[in-house]
Amino acid sequence: MVKGAAYLILALLIMAALAWYLVGERRRSLADIDRRLAQLSDANTPSPRQSAPLTVPERLAPLLAQAQLEVTASTIRTIGVLALLTGLGTLALFGPAVTLLLLIGVPFLAHAWVSGRARKRIDALTEALPHYIDGIRQLQAVGNSLSQALERALAEAPDVVQSYFSQTARKLEMGAPVGETMQQLADRLRVAEISMLAAAIKTNLRYGGSITSALRNLSNILRERLRIKRELLAATSEAKVSSRVLIAMPLIAMALLVAMNPSYIAFFVQDARGHTMVLVALVLEFLGIFVMRRTMRLDF
């Protein structure tokens, strides 16, 4: 029963991967045709599909942008080939249940790592962003235009701000519109603080007024958000430690049982019922980690 279900799920995963690859190839071919037609017609404005097609699902694109990881089509193909070879080897050596766990568990762990990296870098960005906004405001006050202030303040900004805003600064240096360029950065990252900065700039450019006052108010708001966030983190630190202990307890208990009685694990390795119990235990463990992470997430 377990083997049949595992084989069925593996077949569905393979079919889904093939369908996603074929759809991606068709999208890339259409985008290439649009780019060639645009070059032949010397069009100044790009067509809707002229931009490079996404090589990752749209929901993952902001996460990769936040983590500052670039995934190209060649990278995806390499990962797919390695996953196929690893899956076939695991299937031949350990059976379908272990292969299914590998195909589900490795992407889960990879997503957790990317999410952790993105969270750390975005936290560093949001902490440094008020200082960058203050630099923009000061340069505006001494007579620089908004575009010049955005570029020149970046030279004195922390490294994490430079890494996220460097591409935007290059666009501004080439004469791109300030409002649209900042909105593109906000759409790519989907970070609340960047969206607030882009909204403040676009609103000022559209309706006029003092951009210096708007930037001062925005800087104060971002500092207040940071203060509240630190208080929330301090208030929930005990619950986070408890959740990590609960996640680690089953793994530690299993390791202790194996250390005290090595033959205890033979049932889970050799018996089909043991395979089923291991599969159920790991699925429940992953579900528990997911639920705890969602419960402890602080979004405000």
- Structure pTM? 0.68
Structure tokens at 110: 């990879």
Q: Tens-of-pLDDT digits for all 300 residues of the chain?
A: 555 665 666 666 667 767 766 766 676 677 677 767 666 655 444 444 444 444 455 667 888 889 988 877 677 777 777 777 787 777 777 777 677 777 777 888 888 889 889 999 999 999 999 999 999 999 988 888 888 999 999 988 999 999 999 999 899 888 889 999 999 999 999 999 999 999 999 988 888 878 888 899 999 999 998 998 888 878 777 777 887 888 788 888 888 888 888 777 777 777 778 778 877 888 888 888 778 777 766 665
CB 215 within 8 A of CB 137: yes
Q: Could you give the C-alpha distances from 102 to 18, 91, 97, 107, 279, in angstroms and in order?
A: 19, 10, 9, 9, 11
First to last CA, the chain: 45
Domain boundaries, the chain: 121-234, 236-300
Q: How far apart are CA 11 and CA 16, in angstroms?
A: 9
